[in-house]
Amino acid sequence: MLEEKALKTIKKFNMISFNDKILVGVSGGIDSVSLLRYLLSLKEEYNLSIYIAHLNHMLRGKESDKDAGFVKKIAEELKLSYKIENYDINECYKNNSLTLEETAREIRYKFYLRTAIIFKANKIALGHNADDQVETVLMRIIRGCGLEGLKGIPPVRKSIIRPLIECARGDIEEYCRKYKLKYRMDLTNKKPIYFRNKIRLELLPILSEEYNGNIKDNLLKLGNIVSEVSEYLKIKTEAAFRDVIKKENTGKLIIDLEKLNSFPLALKRRIIRKTIKIVKGNLYNINFKHIHQIIQLTDRQSGEKKIDLPEGLKIKKRYNDLIIFKKKQVAEDEKNSSLNWEYRLPTPGKEKIVSLGIAIEIKVLNSSEIKPLEFYKRKKFTSEFTEFIDFNKVKFPIKIRNKRFGDKFFPINMKGVKKVKKFFIDRKIPKDKRNMIPLLVDDEGKIIWIIGLRLDNRVKIENTTKKILYVKIVFCNQTK
């Protein structure tokens, strides 16, 4: 029975190919021993290379050591290359926010991945079965989960394969009896001391006997249905994600809020989860409450708001942007954006400022033979990064710099004086970007032009203008 089910699973999910090199995670228990024996039966047919990996969690003292010794003996009898490693899970568990089970799982998977590289294995085979699947789905329902959690354990995830995932524990026990396989018994599995054990030993028997004898089959069907729906949504989410992303850096993502809010709530949740996973590296300690907080944040209309999430993750709403970042990353960004800079410019002349990624061209035009206002109207439309200034209203030399505390100017087409900070706020320019916007100033510090945004009214061209100062800014990727 096991052989038929496992082979069907392997073919359905395309788990094994000819010439595969497979690292088998062997704990010494009934599942992993059965898996190893079954894969060896396919060795000639698929021309497989098989290796063994065992991580001693050091949780059960001498019993853990005996497990490691048992696996070593199997490997040597079968003449298979193997790697056994000891790791004090308890010590690691004390220093992080995960449960003991989650800590053990994380350390174990990292060990498998490292060992696969050593043996140049392209697949990692693990012995999870259908009963593990049922327990996992039920555990997640009780703890609270979304659609993804109901999928249970994936048959294939990247290089990890689970050939026994559709085999019941009874199938595995029958297989061991048939081939008289020896295996190690973990007596803690018979005690309701871990959450999974309580589900298996206490809850499932009650549900089966008193509520529904087909509870296991029903939970497996639920997992299968959800997997199909999830696969469809995964494709939709990927397309939507690429549509809403404005900027992607290491440890930081910026999402277009208007586009995000155009999607149905179900897709919004998945986009946010995907974004968090990219920035954080995983979704540990991120639950429904956190996702709901972020959804609420996207619906608010005013000001800058932010949410602190576990492990230094921050979510910030800034005008039409939703920014997901790590605390360390934003600290670095703010540090870089807070540095003052200033460059003196030749008049006339050309200057390339590599650190700002711009090139500046400055000319002095004689207006004796032209009407300045008509000239200005005729030329101004060419670029928002080109400006025409009354030469005689400027104190030279001129400079380009970022803003300083207390900067003020007289915006053209507006009445009176305005603080540069307030001007940026009104224009909805993000706080961490304001220090990067270049200002053209004269030798007295008077603002001539907030480049690309607004000219100062005091230096505008009039009919009495005698000379025109022509300033053109070009981004370096547009220059030769």
Q: Domain count of the chain?
A: 3
Same domain, 68 and 203: yes
Same domain, 311 and 409: no
Residue 218 lies in a domain: no
Residue 397 lies in a domain: yes
Angle, helices 30-41/62-78, rounded to nearest 10 degrees: 10
Residue 172 lies in a domain: yes
Same domain, 359 and 315: no
Max Cα separation, the chain?
106
Same domain, 231 and 326: yes
Same domain, 297 and 390: no
Same domain, 65 and 207: yes
Can you give the CATH number for the domain in which 187 is found? 3.40.50.620
Of 194, 213, 232, which residue sits at a domain end? 213
Task: Count the neighbouring beta carbons within 10 Å of the beta carbon of residue 385.
Answer: 15
Of 213, 238, 273, which residue sits at a domain end? 213
pLDDT at 187: 76
Q: What is the mean pLDDT of each run of 10 residues along the chain (480 residues)?
A: 95 95 96 97 96 89 91 96 88 66 84 93 96 93 84 92 96 95 85 85 94 94 90 91 81 88 92 90 83 85 74 86 76 55 89 83 79 57 77 93 90 91 88 85 92 92 88 68
pLDDT at 480: 36
Same domain, 190 and 230: no
Of 183, 213, 243, which residue sits at a domain end? 213
Same domain, 327 and 351: no
Compute the distance between CA of residue 152 and CA of residue 224 in angstroms, rounded to an integer. Answer: 9
Residue 323 lies in a domain: yes
Least Cα distance to 279 among 237, 239, 330, 318 occurs for 330
Same domain, 202 and 55: yes
Can you give the CATH number for the domain in which 468 is found? 3.50.40.10
The verdict on pTM exceeding 0.85 is no
Question: For the CA atoms of 55, 58, 59, 61, what is the dihedral angle to 10 degrees?
Answer: 130
Residue 350 lies in a domain: yes
pLDDT at 250: 62
Same domain, 367 and 455: yes
pLDDT at 148: 81
Residue 76 lies in a domain: yes
Same domain, 329 and 425: no
Residue 289 lies in a domain: yes
Residue 219 lies in a domain: no
Compute the distance between CA of residue 206 and CA of residue 457 in angstroms, rounded to an integer. Answer: 81
Can you give the CATH number for the domain in which 290 is found? 1.20.59.20
Find the domain containing 115 and state its range. Answer: 2-213
Same domain, 299 and 376: no
> What amino acid occupies position 163?
P
